[in-house]
Structure 1
C-alpha cells in the first residue's frame, strides 16, 4: 500500500498514474482508474471497514436473490404482492365487458351512437352533420352556416335523429330505399352535401335505368314498432294502408345487400304522390289539381299486404288527378297553392267528413286565372313557403300573409307569376331553422383559394362559402 501511495505522489499526472499502476503493480485498466480517482481519506481503516461491510451486504443480497429465483413459490408471491400494490394505486372500474360472444362484428357495431341532423335539398343533395355542430343560441342569435347550397337550391326536409335510426326514401315510381343515418356521408356544415341519386344507385344498380325521382324521406327510430301504418296515395286516387312491421321484416332481411324494393304496386301511368306514417286513427285529406278535396276517416281504409295495390280513396273527374295527401285533425289548417300563384288557407273542419271513395267537396275555384292546384299541405310549425316556378325562380313568402277563408274561393294572390310561367313545386320552411341555413354577412374579401367565393365571419373564423376554406379572423 505504501509503495502505491509513494508512486502516486511521484507521478507527473493522472494518465501516468494509470499506466504506471498497470505496469508496476500488474493491475487492470479499470482498477488503475479507480485508484487514480480515489481520495486518500478512503484509504483509512474506517473506510476499509465500510467497504468490507458493503461487500458482505452485496453477497447476502445475491444469495437471497438466487434463493428466490430457485423457488417458484417465492417468485409468485412477490408478483402477487406487486400486482396488489399496483391495483391499490391505479385501480378503477372496468370499462369493457368480457363475454362469451362468438358472433361476427359488422361496420354498424363500430359506429358510436349520437344525435345527427340530416337535410335534403330541392335539387336533390343530402348531408349529415352532428347535432353538436349547431350550438344552442339565445333568441336573436345570428346563427351559423348550416349548408352552402348552390344558387336556386334550398332545404326542403330537415330531421334531427339518432345515428342508428332508419331513413326511408320513397320515389314517384313506388320504390322504397332505406339507409341508416350513419350511412349518409358525414360532411362539414359548410358543404352542399352529396347527390342523393348517387347513394340510391349504390343501393340499386338498376335504378339508373328508371325514370323516377325522390318524393320524400321519412325518419323511423323503431322500424318494427307495433300499431303504426304506412299510408300511400297515388295520383289516380288509390290509397294503401299497410302495417309498418311488414316492411320492417323486408328491411331487416335485406339489410346487408339489397337496400331497395317495391313499396307499392302501381297501375299503368300511375305515380306515388304522398307517403305518411300514422297510428291508425287519423283523418285523410286527398286533394286534386282540379280543386276537389275528400276528407275521410283512416279507419275506412282496408289494411293490405306489402304487395297489395290498395283501394280507391277518391273518385276523380275526367282528366283530374290527386296532387296531395295530408293527415289532418279538426284544428289543422289546409294550405292550397295554384300554378298561377293564388293560395288560401282553410280549417280542415270546414271540409265535410265524407267517406272513402267519394268525389269529395270543392276546395278552391280553378279557372284560367288561378290555374290548376299544384300543392296542398298542413303547415304545422312552418311559417314560410318556398315556391319554385317553371322558369327556375324561387319565391318565398310568409304563411300567415295568406288569408284564411271558409273553404270555397280562389283565395288571394300569394306571388306574382309571369304569363309564360307557372308554379311547379312548393315546400314548407320554418324561419326558426334558418339559423342553421343562413350565411352571416360577408366582409367583402375574396377567397384566396378559389378566387370566387366571399369570406364570411362564422364562429370567430373566416369561411369561404364556395370552397369551404377556413382561416383565422
Structure 2
C-alpha cells in the first residue's frame, strides 16, 4: 500500500486497511494501528495455518467491497458491514466458498462507481468488464452471484480488479510472457457472460498467472505477444441472464474475531 500521510493524524483516523484471505475471511483495521511502524514490522492479522492473505486495500470507511472466488462467483457488500478490529484479530467471514478446492482469488474496494468498472480474468485468457451495479449489494458472508460464465474454454477465475479507462492492464502467464493492453479496449459485458479473449493461450498450453493495472502511457505502444497483433476478440454473449437464486443465503454472520 502507498500511504503518504501516515503522520497525518486526521487522515489515519478516517482510513482503514482491509485484508481479504484465500478462505473468504475479511478484516478491517484503522490506519492508526500502523502509524508507528517498526523496522522489523508489526503483526497485521492473525491468520489460520490453512489460509493466506490474497489482497490488501486502503479504504475511507465508506467504500464498497467485492470479493470473487475461482468458481466464478462474486459478492458485493458495504464496508460498513465489516466492523473495525485490532491488528491481532482474525477477521470475519466475507464470502462463503463452495466445497472442494474453491478459494477467493481477489478483492476490490470501489469508491467511484461512475468511473470504475469490475474486470474479471480467467486462467485461459478470457476477460470482461462489467459495471459495478451489475453486482447488487448484499450482506457479507453469502455465496454471491455469478461473475463469469465458466466453461472448459475459459477456465476458472484468476483475478478480479477495479479499473478505469485511463489505465492499462499487465497480464502475465505462468511461463513469464507479459501482455500489456488498454483497459478501454476491453469491452464491457454483463457479469454472467464469459467475456472475450484477451490473450491466446491455446497453442502454448499455458494459463494466466497474474493481472495488474498500471497508468496508461499515451506515447508507448501497447505490447503484443511474439511481436504479432492479437486477433480481435468476438463480441461477448450473455449466456446467463437469470439471477442466481442462492446468491445471498449466507446472510449475516456473527461479528466475532474468528470467521
1:424-439 correspondence to structure 2 within 5 Å: 424-432=209-217
Deviation per CA, 1:230-273: give whole Å up to 9, x if none. 11111111000111112224x2xx3xxx3322211111121111
Within the alignment, does 1:263 sit opposite 2:44 as a pair?
A: yes
Is residue 344–residue 405 contact of structure 1 (8 Å, CA) maintained in 2?
yes
Within the alignment, does 1:233 sit opposite 2:233 as a pair?
A: no
Q: TM (normalized to structure 2)?
A: 0.77
1:433 Cα deviation after fit: 7.3
Is residue 77–residue 137 contact of structure 2 (8 Å, CA) maintained in 1?
yes
CA 1:388–1:326 in structure 2 vs 1: closer, same or farther (change >3 Å)? same
- Counterpart CA distance in 2 for 1:321 and 1:298 is 21
- Counterpart CA distance in 1 for 2:14 and 2:187 is 37
Q: More displaced, 315-324 or 292-301?
A: 315-324
Gaps of 5+ in 1: 1-216, 436-473
CA 1:358–1:230 in structure 2 vs 1: closer, same or farther (change >3 Å)? same
- Counterpart CA distance in 2 for 1:314 and 1:434 is 41
Deviation per CA, 1:362-398: give whole Å up to 9, x if none. 0001122101111111113543211111111111222
- Counterpart CA distance in 2 for 1:387 and 1:431 is 14
- Counterpart CA distance in 1 for 2:204 and 2:218 is 33
- Counterpart CA distance in 2 for 1:310 and 1:265 is 8
- Counterpart CA distance in 1 for 2:209 and 2:148 is 18
Return the match for 1:291 from 47, 51, 72.
72
Q: What secondary structure sits across from 2:85 in the alignment?
A: coil
Deviation per CA, 1:397-435: give whole Å up to 9, x if none. 222222211211100111111352111011212223767
- Structure (1 or 2) with the greater helix fraction: 1
1:64-83 correspondence to structure 2 within 5 Å: none
Output the aligned Cα RMSD: 1.9
CA 1:330–1:383 in structure 2 vs 1: closer, same or farther (change >3 Å)? closer
Is residue 382–residue 428 contact of structure 1 (8 Å, CA) maintained in 2?
no
- Counterpart CA distance in 1 for 2:204 and 2:191 is 27
Is residue 165–residue 182 contact of structure 2 (8 Å, CA) maintained in 1?
no
1:272-311 correspondence to structure 2 within 5 Å: 272-311=53-92
1:176-191 correspondence to structure 2 within 5 Å: none
Gaps of 5+ in 2: 221-259
What is residue 357 of structure 1 aligned with on the other side?
A: 141
CA 1:426–1:382 in structure 2 vs 1: closer, same or farther (change >3 Å)? farther
1:317 Cα deviation after fit: 0.6
Within the alignment, does 1:322 sit opposite 2:110 as a pair?
A: no
What is residue 178 of structure 1 aligned with on the other side?
A: none
Is residue 382–residue 429 contact of structure 1 (8 Å, CA) maintained in 2?
no
1:289 Cα deviation after fit: 1.3
Is residue 381–residue 430 contact of structure 1 (8 Å, CA) maintained in 2?
no
Q: What secondary structure sits across from 1:365 in the alignment?
A: coil
Q: What secondary structure sits across from 1:221 in the alignment?
A: coil
Q: What secondary structure sits across from 1:245 in the alignment?
A: helix
Query: Where has structure 1 moved over 4 Å in runs of 4 or more?
Result: none
1:125-204 correspondence to structure 2 within 5 Å: none
Q: TM (normalized to structure 1)?
A: 0.43
Within the alignment, does 1:344 sit opposite 2:125 as a pair?
A: no
